Structure 1
Amino acid sequence: MRSPHTINGRLFAGIELNGETASELRLYALAAATVDVPVIAVTGDSTVCAEAEKLIPGVMTVHTLSGHGPSVRSIAPSSSVQLIEEAVCRAVASDRPLPLALPDHFKLNVEFRHGAEAYARSFYPGAKLISDTEVELESDDYLAILTFLRFASKYS
């Protein structure tokens, strides 16, 4: 289970939701879906844009940078702003993608970088410590999943 830098890369080694790697894009697109809001545009690195195009058919994307080892190559800020404005204008004017479909049940697995962090979070109501570094939470309510992630990331 690996999800680079999702929410807090120093704390979390990986986050899975229903058996799939849970990136910030996926987590927040599902949050938007809870109030029937579609994601119409995504900007950022080439990885998040590729994920958005796969996850959300019809989403507008703007690749503003790409990662190369510990560094990035990005386009000029003025070019980024112009490309983002154009993409968002096109997204607002076109047919909008549908919000992500919300599963009926959620199983969240969070792998922490340190066992002590996992142990401390395992006392959250409904959470279970399933290994030295992994905590699991199941719920039919996506807001419960988001609440746990907020709790787990805030108290580090």
Structure 2
Amino acid sequence: MHVFISVDIEGITDVTWWWDEKEKGREEVACRRMTAEANAAVEGALAAGARKITVADSHGSMRNILPELLHPAATLVRGQSRPLGMMQGVDRKVDAAMLIGYHAMAGTKNATLAHTYTGQVHRLWVNGVEVGEIGFNARVAGRFGVPVVLLSGDAAACREAERAIPGITTVQVKDAMGYINAANDHPETAQAKIRKAATAALGNLKAVKPLTLKGAPRVRVELRTVQQADLAALAPGISRLDGYTVEYKAQDMAEAHKTLRAIFTLARAAKW
């Protein structure tokens, strides 16, 4: 059994502010906890019989997980500019995917550091369904026939995953009272919960189906400023719907992801 694990940082226990992952001293603590929760998922997968495990560092620079502390059974996907981004490593040889340390979509109430990929995105839809990173990435996995069987994060992220992916196992490691706070599990408690849930989720693998689309994906992106949309609409194949919103069609979710990344890159150049 080949298990793919995508690991973000905002849903890791005790991470409640952007500087937790950027400030000297705090950054190392956050990266250590990110690595530890990744290891918990790896250990749970091994206990369930996994023979191959791919871990994708999926936050920011994508160079956060500490390789020397990562479980030696895992292969680490590291670094930016990857064709599938947070889901790099998913293919048809993978049996199950896990999302560790994930967060809720932009605009979610009482959700720690909730956002959708970048600060430029206000809302995102795939074929009329509003999604965040959880729903979009699950559909990328579904493109390859891979079910997302486990998610860990705050309570809001868990609720979002349960709405989007029937049968998924979720692990709540913190509960937010706003955007930059949370009541957090002790790191060892969070790791134990993830470890146990990973084993259980893989033991009930058939309960979760890959999240697939009927027909080709149509992706709509509502950006935060008009100039961001001005720049995004310069790309071939991008339609402008209104001042803030652009839309495009893709052959599949892998292509949809590439185009979405191009939109982010263009929008990031906006000065206002």
TM over 0.5: yes
2:254 equivalent to 1:143? yes
Offset of residue 101 of structure 1: 2.3
State how 1:11-30 maps to structure 2 within 5 Å.
11-30=120-139
Match of 1:83 among 193, 199, 214: 193
Q: Report what 2:225 is aligned to.
A: 114
Alignment TM-score, normalising by the size of structure 2: 0.53
Mean alpha-carbon deviation: is it higher for 78-87 or for 43-52? 43-52
Percent identity for Structure 1 against Structure 2 = 26
Give the letter aligned to residue 85 of structure 1: R
Secondary structure, aligned partner of 2:148 = coil
Offset of residue 14 of structure 1: 1.0
Q: Is the 8 A contact 1:40 1:60 kept in 2?
A: yes
Alignment TM-score, normalising by the size of structure 1: 0.90
Give 5+ residue unaligned stretches, structure 1: none
Offset of residue 105 of structure 1: 2.5
For 2:265 and 2:196, locate their aligned partners in 1 and report how far apart those are by CA, in whole Å.
Answer: 36
Give the letter aligned to residue 216 of structure 2: H
Q: Is the 8 A contact 2:171 2:193 kept in 1?
A: yes
Offset of residue 26 of structure 1: 0.6
Q: Report what 1:126 is aligned to.
A: 237
Offset of residue 130 of structure 1: 1.5
Q: Is the 8 A contact 1:3 1:22 kept in 2?
A: no
Q: Report what 2:166 is aligned to.
A: 57
Q: Which has the higher strand share?
A: 1
2:122 equivalent to 1:7? no
Give the letter aligned to residue 49 of structure 1: C
Q: Is the 8 A contact 1:6 1:12 kept in 2?
A: yes
For 1:101 and 1:16, locate their aligned partners in 2 and report how far apart those are by CA, in whole Å.
Answer: 15
Give 5+ residue unaligned stretches, structure 2: 1-104, 108-114
Secondary structure, aligned partner of 2:125 = strand
Give the letter aligned to residue 237 of structure 2: G
Q: Is the 8 A contact 2:229 2:244 kept in 1?
A: yes
Higher RCO structure (Cα 8 Å, ≥6 apart)? 1
Secondary structure, aligned partner of 1:61 = strand
For 2:131 and 2:163, locate their aligned partners in 1 and report how far apart those are by CA, in whole Å.
Answer: 14
Deviating 4+ runs (over 3 angstroms): none
Q: Deviations over 1:127-147 (max 9, x none)?
A: 011211111112342222111
Q: Deviations over 1:11-51 (max 9, x none)?
A: 11111122221111110000001111111101101122112
Q: Report what 1:94 is aligned to.
A: 204
Q: Report what 1:40 is aligned to.
A: 149
